[in-house]
Structure 1
Amino acid sequence: MSATTPLPVTLTGRHVRVEPLSPDHLDDLFAAGGGDDEVWRWQGGPTPHTPDELGEKLTNLLAAARRGEYVPFAVIHLASGKAVGWTTYMDIDVAHERLEIGSTWYGRSHWRSAVNTETKLLLLGHAFEELGMGRVQLKTDHLNVRSQDAIARLGARREGVLRRHRRRHDGTWRDTVYFSLLVDEWPEVKVRLAARL
């Protein structure tokens, strides 16, 4: 099966639903993580301290989606019915059967919960089983140990570090740690993630 371009889609699990991101999610998203410096520390820009500031980030992401750079999703916590973060498919290369899951954040009250595990389970499953991708990558700042640990817990393999890869919004340089999962690894990873839920 050859890979196909990801499109906005709704995927539902037991704990979360991922659905196409829209301005309608803004109030929930600001309540979940607006003004929290720790949530936004690694997101590549200043913390949004007002709904308008978060709205600008959301608008910019949706504009990039219209250019085909991202497929953004709101992450809905089913028990509350509220959007608690967002995530995207990005760096999409259908010819080479690969994409990245990234630009992900969740409100701090949902860290180390089923939210990230099931969101990744849904997005990875869709990428490998429906879109025909052969590789999904994830990456993070080398100083973001919490994110590296979370990615490793998913079963992704650490591939290496790109040194002085990207300038942070404060002007310092970040090294970027790359991880990946391949389609041949997915069945085992899927079982492990489902068991964690």
Structure 2
Amino acid sequence: MPATTPLPVTLTGPHVRVEPLSPDHLGDLFAAGGGDEEVWRWQGGPAPRTEEELGEKLTALLAAARRGEYVPFAVIHRASGRAVGWTTYMDIAAADERLEIGSTWYGRAYWRSAVNTGTKLLLLGHAFEELGMGRVQLKTDHLNVRSQEAIARLGAQREGVLRRHRRRPDGTWRDSVYFSLLADEWPEAKARLEARL
């Protein structure tokens, strides 16, 4: 039986909650990461300098979600109750029991905190345990070492590099480093992530 296509859902863990992304999150999101070049460096396009510019990015993502390209989530830091970033399910192929977690960013204050681990624990758990996925992939720019290290800490296996995969906003070419986690690897990875939290 094939996996189930993900729908917008709210998932709650001890440190974060992920909930369907909406324009209501815009103010918090801009406060968390608006105008920070380092936060947006790997996201494609310049850092949004105003709330309106971030709103344009959010609106474009929600339009892509309506076309079935993404299932976007706001990441809520439970201690503050504020949205501190967003993430998505993307490249969804339920018949092949796979999806990708990507287009993720968090405000710099939440880097190397429980936010990323907690978010990935919720999204991976939902993908494997409730949607029936057999593979979850993640990818990042080959120059984004911080992201590669964070993905490896999740227990995902580095699979390889797609060379000259995507043009960056500055016209240079990005190589994309691919990682994946398979359903039979999930129980061990889950135990490690829960221990880290």
TM-score band by shorter chain is: over 0.9
Q: How many Å apart are 1:46 and its aligned residue? A: 1.2
In the alignment, which residue of structure 2 is the partner of 1:129?
Answer: 129
1:40-66 Cα shifts (integer Å, max 9, x gaps): 000011110000000000000000000
Identify unmatched segments of 5+ residues in structure 2: none
Please give the root-mean-square deviation of Cα atoms over the aligned residues, in Å: 0.5
CA distance in 2 between partners of 1:13 and 1:195 (Å): 14
CA distance in 1 between partners of 2:45 and 2:98 (Å): 26
Pairing of 1:88-107 with structure 2 (within 5 A):
88-107=88-107
Q: What is the identity percentage for the equivalent residue pairs of Structure 1 and Structure 2?
A: 87
In the alignment, which residue of structure 2 is the partner of 1:85?
Answer: 85
1:146-170 Cα shifts (integer Å, max 9, x gaps): 0000000000000000000100011
Task: State how many pairs are aligned.
Answer: 197
Local SS of the residue matching 1:95: helix
Identify unmatched segments of 5+ residues in structure 1: none
Q: How many Å apart are 1:127 and its aligned residue? A: 0.1
In the alignment, which residue of structure 1 is the partner of 2:178?
Answer: 178
Pairing of 1:98-177 with structure 2 (within 5 A):
98-177=98-177
8 Å Cα contact 2:2-2:96 kept in structure 1? no
CA distance in 1 between partners of 2:144 and 2:114 (Å): 20
Pairing of 1:60-71 with structure 2 (within 5 A):
60-71=60-71
CA distance in 2 between partners of 1:45 and 1:129 (Å): 35
Local SS of the residue matching 2:192: helix
In the alignment, which residue of structure 2 is the partner of 1:26?
Answer: 26
Runs of 4+ with deviation above 4 angstroms: none
Q: How many Å apart are 1:2 and its aligned residue? A: 2.6
